[in-house]
Amino acid sequence: MPVLYLTESDVDDLLTMPLAVEAMQQGFAHLAQQRAENVPRQRATAKGFVLHSMSATAEYLGLGGWKQYTTTSHGAKFLVGLYALETGELLALIEANRLGQMRTGAVTGLAIQHLAITDARTVGILGSGWQAESQLEAACVARTIERAAVFSPNPQHRQTFAEKMSRRLAIEVTAVETPRQAIDKMPIVITATTSRVPVFEGTWLAPGALICAVGSNWLRKTEIDTTTLARATLIVCDDVACCQHEAGDFRAALEDGLFEWKQARGLADVVAEPTPARRDKSDLIVFKSVGMALEDVALGGQLLDRAQQERKGITLPF
């Protein structure tokens, strides 16, 4: 059976952030109904090389799939494969760098829809890299954002980010000189860094803030401090099992007795709950995302449908 091959250019042409956020809503809703299954990431290493492997099934889409990617000194290379559940046949191979960026942002967008205060109009971002771009874009889909502040240690990087995203999103994005300036009084705070140590102090957070920490998926890395977790009224993970496996953000709080895994809820449960997870406007909520294969399969399924409708991609004679 022919296999559809989609390039990064195809993915960029076909996907939009609203579509990606809706795909995440559907994926997590069906995960709560046990019509999807996710397997946490595994890693195989050699000197200077890491192979990352993750997989999921999405019964509601009739699809199963995997994401494999490598990281070396030359960067990261991503590929997603999708199979028909009914026949087991390979349907598509997708270059997945852009796909991964979009689904990571979209999961944050979904969390903001369900957990941020409803009248949030401003966002603070720590980190000015490629992932930070989709994070801010998704926040603008989830809420009517009018202004954002961004900090990263490199002044040129944060200024370039601010100018680029101001043009792209038609909002005011300001580069600030300290992490605290990016966080002060913000109802939504996003961290998208590669830091091994906390990037802000939990005492800086305003009551009612939602903190979305997306940068770390290694146990040796963390972006949030123990004060943030101790202050949190609610802690939500994209998936609790995945976070137990690789979220370094919780290690210090676990060791200090300030946090237990039974306190954490999965995003699927929050999405499926008929009443809002936020009980009070002053609740401080932490959302921690490490990335799940279900997100790639859910968005890949939407991408495959659109590619077939618009006759995009290359047919491989498998």
Q: Which domain holds residue 280?
A: 108-291
CATH number at residue 170: 3.40.50.720
Cα Rg of the chain (Å, integer): 19
Half-sphere exposure of 221 (CA within 13 A, CB side): 16
Q: What is the pLDDT of residues 49-91, one digit of tens each?
A: 999 999 999 999 999 999 999 999 999 999 999 999 999 999 9
| Predicted local distance difference test score (pLDDT) of residue 209 | 98
Same domain, yes or no: 181 and 222: yes
Q: pTM for this structure?
A: 0.96
3-state secondary structure of 54: strand
| Predicted local distance difference test score (pLDDT) of residue 317 | 82
Q: Which amino acid belongs to residue 307?
A: A
Same domain, yes or no: 142 and 273: yes
Determine contact, residues 123/148, Cβ cutoff 8 Å: yes
| Predicted local distance difference test score (pLDDT) of residue 123 | 98
Distance separating alpha carbons of residues 301 and 58, to the nearest angstrom: 9
Alpha-helical segments (H) within 33-96:
none
Distance separating alpha carbons of residues 38 and 172, to the nearest angstrom: 38
Paired tokens of 245: 């496996």
* Regions in the chain scoring below 70 on pLDDT: none
Same domain, yes or no: 182 and 250: yes
Same domain, yes or no: 10 and 135: no
CATH number at residue 55: 3.30.1780.10
Query: If we measure between CA atoms, which residue out of 44, 101, 104, 102 comes closest to residue 68?
Result: 44
Same domain, yes or no: 60 and 124: no
| Predicted local distance difference test score (pLDDT) of residue 218 | 87
Distance separating alpha carbons of residues 1 and 315, to the nearest angstrom: 10
Q: What is the pLDDT of residues 98-138, one digit of tens each?
A: 999 999 999 999 999 999 999 999 999 999 999 999 999 99
The DSSP symbol for 216 reads -
| Predicted local distance difference test score (pLDDT) of residue 5 | 98
| Predicted local distance difference test score (pLDDT) of residue 206 | 96
Our count of domains for the chain comes to: 2
Distance separating alpha carbons of residues 132 and 157, to the nearest angstrom: 12
